[in-house]
Amino acid sequence: MGTETYSPTELMICIAARLMKEARTAFIGTGIPMLAASLAKKLYNPDLITIFEFGGIGASLEDLPRAVGEARTFYRAMVATGICDVMETAQRGLIEYGFLGGAQIDPYGNLNTTVIGPYDKPKVRLPGSGGANDVGSLCWRTIAIMKHEKKRFIEKVDFITTPGYLDGPGARERAGLPAGTGPYRVVTDLALLGYDDATKRMMLLATHPGVTVERVLENTGFELIVPKKVAQNEPPSSDELRVLRTEVDPERLYI
């Protein structure tokens, strides 16, 4: 168990990295997913094949990329291709994990990165999908990484940019999405969440050190499933912090 001081971002990176201990392939986005993937490769899973939107497959991640299309995402890669081939790889069912973010998420894991408010006259217009819809539609398991706030965790998103379980069991299949795919985990600055197999609604799996179940519920804008036993995530270990700070992100670009 770690005893060093750490930031909420460092804890989220470590938890996301632990989720990739057994992964074979993972679609990686900018920011925390890059650091988590690099940490996982260095500590837990050296055979992890990272996949970047603009065509880098299996890069070494010896140095932290600044974006999903820059040179480091191709350095010593297994394949240097393009966005169309990467999305086809997902369509063929060859990408196991996909990382996502969003401004809003609902109980079924639907994500909004398009607008806040009405689509025609929004309060805020967001960046849009990019490759997120493809990732959420086609990867076997998706992991969302978000700040845990009531305004973000809401009963109904203003716009479904990326499908989760839509409106419940069987909805993805009825929409024509591959059976067996869908949201897997949500990593926040308060907790680790998953989804109930029967209802496909979000459920609390584990709180972070020092965070109560009540605090998680207070910051969630919908009814969250709380099992009888809620685990607590381990804080970052000394090894995780050392590798993260000295090898993964020594320039402190994200941490």
Convert the pLDDT of each residue in 55-96 to its tens digit: 999 999 999 998 888 999 999 999 999 999 999 999 999 999
Residue 53 known to be catalytic: yes
Choose between 130 and 4: higher pLDDT. Answer: 130
For 5-28, how does the pLDDT look when each residue is reduced to its tens digit (9 = 90+)?
Answer: 999 999 999 999 999 999 999 999
Q: Is the full-model pTM beyond 0.85?
A: yes
Going along the chain from its start, the domains and CATH numbers come out as 8-248 (3.40.1080.10)
Q: Determine the number of helices (DSSP H) and then strands (DSSP E) in the chain.
A: 7, 14
Picking from 8-22, 60-74, 144-158, 186-200, which range would have the lowest pLDDT averaged per residue?
A: 60-74
Q: Of 208, 203, 192, 196, whose CA–CA distance to 226 is shortest?
A: 203
Distances (CA, A) of 247 to 17, 39, 49, 120, 231: 15, 9, 19, 46, 30
**How sure is the predictor about 250, in pLDDT bands with cuts at 50, 70 and 90?**
very high
CB 205 within 8 A of CB 230: yes
Q: Which two tokens stand for residue 91?
A: 């369509």
Question: How many whole angstroms separate alpha carbon 41 and alpha carbon 27?
Answer: 14
Q: Give the position of tokens 């809003």.
A: 104
Identity at 189, one-letter amino acid code:
D
Residue 42 has pLDDT above 70, yes or no: yes
Choose between 51 and 69: higher pLDDT. Answer: 51
Phi, psi of 84 (to 5 degrees): -65, -40
- What is the percent of the chain where pLDDT is above 70? 99
Total residue length of the chain? 255
Choose between 253 and 226: higher pLDDT. Answer: 226
Residue 99 has pLDDT above 70, yes or no: yes
Indicate if the alpha-carbon torsion angle 185, 13, 9, 133 is positive or negative: negative
Residue 2 has pLDDT above 70, yes or no: no
Which candidate in 4, 10, 22, 53 is catalytic? 53
**How sure is the predictor about 1, in pLDDT bands with cuts at 50, 70 and 90?**
very low
CB 117 within 8 A of CB 103: no
- Mean pLDDT for the chain overall: 95
Q: CB atoms < 10 A from the CB of 142, how many?
A: 26
Question: How many whole angstroms separate alpha carbon 251 and alpha carbon 254?
Answer: 9
CA angle 16, 20, 22 (to 5 degrees): 155
Alpha helices, DSSP H, located in 73-218: 83-91, 132-138, 171-174, 213-218
Is 231 strand, coil or helix? strand
